[in-house]
Chain A
């Protein structure tokens, strides 16, 4: 075959492009269900992993591919592009997407209390009340939910941003280790035992500043699906959610703690079992803070507060009426 003819080359290129695009956008038929997590497989995803590894999806007649997430992987986009049928996203991501016309629904809220807190050294930076933040150097991820939470807290307690120094944080904790920053945002259940233990091992005291304890109730990881799945495959969605809730219930039951630890170890071989045990105990407090709270309950007031916070900070132009998009899975 000759490639000298430029028209032929162009046509071939266009054809190859279409083939690549069609596979990239998942136009091919697939029987599998893809479930995109928000973050890497770790203790924060224990229920999802448990449902997968212990056969709960299979028991409900589903073949589910659980895909780890990451900073550049957005479950909402994957739902729209048809690469996933279910996913996990945080409330701010979901509200932002809905404000831009995404057709998605929330089926369950995994974390009843947002595990995002700030780690600090109480001897260096005593912190009893929000007003004590004045004069401190506080780490925030610009553009991240922790920025919104901190700004909402400052606004609630009438603390001006000029009363403290906001420090832009990244993945690396070095500035906190080096004491350049007083408070550093951290996921209490997943990162707390690792970072906290490291600092304690160095002979330093640590504590956590919890915005939830000061009235900033925001929503973290929640399970979402697309309008298309909910309208056209409601039975499949119900079976998926039933298996997922069961996975979370069983993995959070202290009786199954060792099974849960071993399940996490299958996917996360880099974290010590003792750390995972500690993470698991902490995760339980955020997923099921009280006995009367059912797994996956959607905390409507917390969603509304998150939405109000985003409107106040001009992250969305106008309220979207978030309750319309909350479809509690039975």
Chain B
């Protein structure tokens, strides 16, 4: 039986496709603007395997980029919570990098890393880490008074201990944020491939756009949706297992 994430995606995709065909036939648009259902079906049959390989390639980069983003966001958030000059400098740097449009930064990335896997990963991380960073900063900076005050009163509260308490007490939030950011990682990788790669589904979408071939784009979107849903599903499963570990569901550090 299909998991609800998959059939929810199938419903959304089917509704989107129906609206597109409704517009096509309602406005009497040519097959150049919106392809007919038969063409979409034939293109899907012809390209699904080739595109699936590309989507899996993209997904592998997205997963790796996602992990790097989590690590980077955690490191920046930990340093950023320091109240000294270094902390605020790191935080400001992270915010500034995020404000630059990737297409404008792309030439610098090409010069430094070429246009292979390193550039794809870097762009993915740049796009994905910021939402994670904001959440991490919020969580790491918010004291858990009802636990921390015991250690504060006995002068045993170190920054490492306070961090562990805050992570432990907010594990459910962290899991939600991390699994939610998986889609951003996938989008980031596709954007990276669109502007900086010769592989992956983003690159194939770029070619299809040049050829004004919406059937190929719809095939790619379908596969991206399915694979992203499966990735989300895996993350949610891991999150569920973490939350079910003894002590965590109770949310008790003490």
Contacts and interface: CB of A to CB of B under 8 A. Distances in A.
B30 A80 contact: yes
Nearest to B107: A172
A174 B111 contact: yes
B18 interface: no
A100 B36 CA distance: 10
B29 interface: yes
Contacts of B30: 80, 97, 100-103
A175 B110 contact: yes
Contact of A96 (B110, B203, B211): B211
B243 interface: no
B11 to A, nearest CB: 15
Interface residues of A, number: 28
Interface string B27-50: 101111101000000000000000
Nearest to A315: B211
B interface majority secondary structure: helix
B232 interface: no
B33 A143 contact: no
A103 B31 CA distance: 11
B212 A142 contact: no
B211 A77 contact: no
Contacts of B211: 96, 143, 315
A245 interface: no
B208 A143 contact: yes
B195 interface: yes
A93 B213 CA distance: 11
20 contacts: A25-B23, A76-B32, A76-B33, A76-B212, A80-B30, A80-B32, A96-B211, A97-B30, A97-B32, A100-B30, A100-B32, A142-B210, A143-B207, A143-B208, A170-B115, A170-B195, A172-B107, A172-B195, A174-B107, A174-B110
Interface of A: 21, 25, 71-72, 74, 76-77, 80-81, 93, 96-97, 100-103, 141-144, 168, 170-172, 174-175, 178, 315
